[in-house]
Each structure stands twice: as structure tokens, then as C-alpha cells.
Structure 1
Amino acid sequence: MSKYLLDKFLYTVDRDQDLVERYREDPVGTVEWWEAEYANRILNCVDDERSTWLAFEEAEREALRTHDYPALFAMGAHPFLTLTLFIAMFERDHEGLGFQLEYARRLAHVEMPYPDIST
């Protein structure tokens, strides 16, 4: 499992409004496209700088495809990255702080110490 790759996905998608919308509307296609096009790009480098070995494991891929942020959290994805991305995608579907409250409710079962979020 690669917490780095999960966090990289969440970070890069969250910083591009078009990708946020694409991920909201077509999570399966977006995850597949992102993994093929971006997973091995080195952050903050020219596009030609790439690695060759990064790929999601099937459990990570499935959690991303289904917007399963509790599973992503359990896998060690950074909670601030999941929260900000999923707020951007789903806040409009809830009144007031409704999505933030739903996020908290779905993660209420998690007790300290939280999953390790170091990469």
C-alpha cells in the first residue's frame, strides 16, 4: 500500500477544479486516467521527469473509485486531504455544514491513536 500515492492523488485532484468535477462525475474513469497519466509523474518537476513503479493496489483503487473516504482514512490517507477534496465535491449536496457533519459521522468509529499518516 502506498500512502504517498493516495495522498498524491488527493492533493493533485483537489488543486484542479476541473479534476474535482471529473472525479465527482466519473470516479472510475478519473482514477484509471490519473493512475496512467499522473501516478508516476514526479511532483514539482517537468512533465518528462517520471518514475516507473508507482501504482495503486486494488483496495486503494476501489476506495478511490467509490469515494470511500472512511476506507481511505483507514489506509492512512491524510485526513486533511480527504476532507478538503470531498468537501469540494459534495458540500453543494448538503445544507450548511452538512457534509462536514456527515464526514465526522462516518469516521466517528475511529478511535485514537488514528491510523499512521506519515509517508
Structure 2
Amino acid sequence: MSRYLLDKFLYTVDRDPDLLERYRQDPRGTVAWWEAEMANRLLACHEQERSSWLAFEDAEREALATHDYPALFALGAHPFLTLTLFIGLFERDHPEPLGFQRAYAARLADWLGKPYPDISTC
């Protein structure tokens, strides 16, 4: 499992409005494209600079492809990155104040009183 790669996906998709909308409309296709094209790109370097070893595991890929943020939370994706990305995706579907945040909290309610998953990347 690569919490680093999950967090990298959440971070990069959340910061690009076009990519965020693409992920909303076609999550499975966006995850496949991102993994093939962006996962191994070194973001602080020229586009030609790439690593070659990063890939999602099946559970990570499936959670991302189905917008399953409770599963991402359980896999150790950073909760702030997960929350901000999914606010961008679904806040418009919840017109009441803090509507999505409340829905997010309700879906993660099983975690109340339990220790948080490890979110370290090292």
C-alpha cells in the first residue's frame, strides 16, 4: 500500500479544477489515466523526470474509482486531503450549509472512538 501515492492523487486532483471535474464525471477513467500518466511524474521537476515504481494496489484503485472515501480513510489516505477533494466533488450536491461535511462525517461515524489509521508516509 502506498499512502504517499494516494495522497499525491488527492492533492494533485484537488488543485486542478478541470481534473477535479473529470474525476467527478469519470472516476474510473480518471484514476486509470492518472496512474498511467501522473503517478510516476516527479512534480517538482521537468515533465520528463519520472520514477518507475509507483502504482496503486487494487483496493486503493477501487476506492478511488468509486469515490469511496471511508475506504480511503481506512487505507490511510490523509483525512484533510480526502475531505477537501470530496468537498470539491460533492458540495454542490448538498445545498444546505455544511451539507457535504455532515454527510462525510456520517459516513465516517464508525470511526468514532477508534484510533485513526496511520497517515504517515514514511
* Correspondence 1:102 to 2:103: yes
Paired AA for residue 25 in structure 1: Q
Count of residue correspondences: 119
List 4+ stretches of structure 1 deviating above 4 A: none
CA root-mean-square deviation = 0.7
* Correspondence 1:7 to 2:7: yes
Residue 45 of structure 1 deviates from its aligned partner by 1.1
**Map of 1:16 onto structure 2:** 16
- CA deviations 1:13-38 (Å, max 9, x no partner) are 00000011000000010000000000
Q: Which runs of 5+ in 2 are unaligned?
A: none
Choose the corresponding residue for 1:115, options 96, 100, 117.
Answer: 117
SS at match of 2:87: helix
Normalised to the residue count of structure 2, the TM-score between the two structures is 0.95
Normalised to the residue count of structure 1, the TM-score between the two structures is 0.98
Identity among equivalent positions (%) equals: 78
Residue 96 of structure 1 deviates from its aligned partner by 1.6
Residue 112 of structure 1 deviates from its aligned partner by 3.6
CA distance in 1, matches of 2:43, 2:80: 19
Q: Which runs of 5+ in 1 are unaligned?
A: none
